[in-house]
Amino acid sequence: MEESIDQTAQVVTTWPWFMQIVLAAVIVALTLLITRAVTKLLRRVLHSDSNPLPASSIFINLTRIAIWVIAIGILLKVCFNYDATGIVAGLGVAGIALSLGLQDTISNLIGGLQISLSRTVMPGDHVRYEGKLGEVKDVNWRYTRVQTQGSSTFIIPNSKMNSNSIESIDDIHSITIPITIPLPLCTQKFLDRIVAAVLDRMGDALSADNPPTVLLSGTSSFDGTYIDAQVIIFAGWERSDGVLIDQALRAITPLLQEADRQHRAQLEAAPEGLL
């Protein structure tokens, strides 16, 4: 036993860097374990119902960075007897040059913190960006990841999330479908038939609290005997706008075709002086 201790002491004395490598390995291993444990704890806290903060990965990423910065400082001090405060002081001098080179990264980092802390956008929210509608999946330290209705993903830099190009929408959004109705047949009864046809075909896909509606917008510029109208339907974001519009038009088109035939028949039957 004593011989083993003497051999170990001899190795440490002969190769001093051996102990440095061992200590560095121990510090790195402990840091990995601590990072994993803290990450798991943070995920659990962020996804709890009582948590006031959004479940964005930016908090986990920043915590990881902080843990590794502290670990590197300890490693330099213990293994190499180097005071890391000198590096921090040096960064103060080089900080200006570094900030210029990483201006976009810093802007995205600050933007991500502003978004998360102010709860402007949180995972699970629905947004519209450059005409694309999707659900926010995550906000990290560089960008916000959004999944569209077609399950594709697009990335928005955090610096742009506070701009006017981002529209936050409710779980239920509206879709407007323009139509044209013959003016003589544009009665409340006919408008009710349009709403009933849409509900009959699309009932399960539409919002139960927001029934379809038809708004008249004025005489058609194409033909003075027609009137422009808008059919407005309300549905959850997970329903594709293209599919919803297709289903609504399939419900509305037969009624519009019938009304158009009746209108043309009335015009043909009318005395020439009344046309």
Containing structural domain, residue 150: 116-169
Q: Is the residue at 91 inside a domain? A: yes
Q: Do 144 and 233 share a domain, yes or no?
A: no
**What's the pLDDT score for residue 133?**
76
Q: Is the residue at 246 inside a domain? A: yes
Q: Do 122 and 199 share a domain, yes or no?
A: no
Q: Is the residue at 136 inside a domain? A: yes
**What's the pLDDT score for residue 11?**
47
Task: With beta carbons less than 8 A apart as the criterion, state whether 154 and 144 touch.
Answer: no
Looking at the 3D structure of the chain, how many domains does it have?
Answer: 3
Q: Do 143 and 211 share a domain, yes or no?
A: no
Q: Do 78 and 134 share a domain, yes or no?
A: no
**What's the pLDDT score for residue 122?**
79
- Of the candidates 173, 119, 117, 166, which has an alpha carbon nearest to the alpha carbon of residue 146? 166
Burial profile 45-77: b = 16 or more Cβ within 10 angstroms, e = fewer = ebeeeeeeebbbbbbbbeebeebbeebebebbe
Give me the CATH number covering residue 155.
2.30.30.60
Give me the CATH number covering residue 247.
3.30.300.100
Q: Do 22 and 97 share a domain, yes or no?
A: yes
Q: Do 93 and 50 share a domain, yes or no?
A: yes
**What's the pLDDT score for residue 150?**
65
Q: Is the residue at 138 inside a domain? A: yes
Q: Is the residue at 108 inside a domain? A: no
Q: Is the residue at 109 inside a domain? A: no
Which residue type is seen at 94?
Answer: A
Q: Do 26 and 50 share a domain, yes or no?
A: yes
Q: Do 16 and 81 share a domain, yes or no?
A: yes
Q: Do 148 and 63 share a domain, yes or no?
A: no
User: For the whole prediction, is pTM greater than 0.85?
Assistant: no
Q: Do 10 and 95 share a domain, yes or no?
A: yes
Q: Is the residue at 49 inside a domain? A: yes
Q: Do 61 and 152 share a domain, yes or no?
A: no
Which residue type is seen at 55?
Answer: A
Query: Which residues, including other chains, have CB under 8 Å from residue 144's CB and lie 6 or more apart?
Result: 112, 115, 121, 136, 138, 155, 156, 157, 158, 161
State whether the Cα torsion 153-159-161-165 is positive or negative: negative
Q: How far is CA 255 from the centre of its chain?
A: 39
Query: Which residues, including other chains, have CB under 8 Å from residue 248's CB and lie 6 or more apart?
Result: 175, 177, 198, 201, 202, 212, 231, 233
Q: Do 165 and 181 share a domain, yes or no?
A: no
Domain-ending residue, one of 51, 66, 101: 101
The DSSP output letter for 149 is T
Q: Write out residues in the chain with pLDDT < 50, as ranges.
A: 11, 273-275
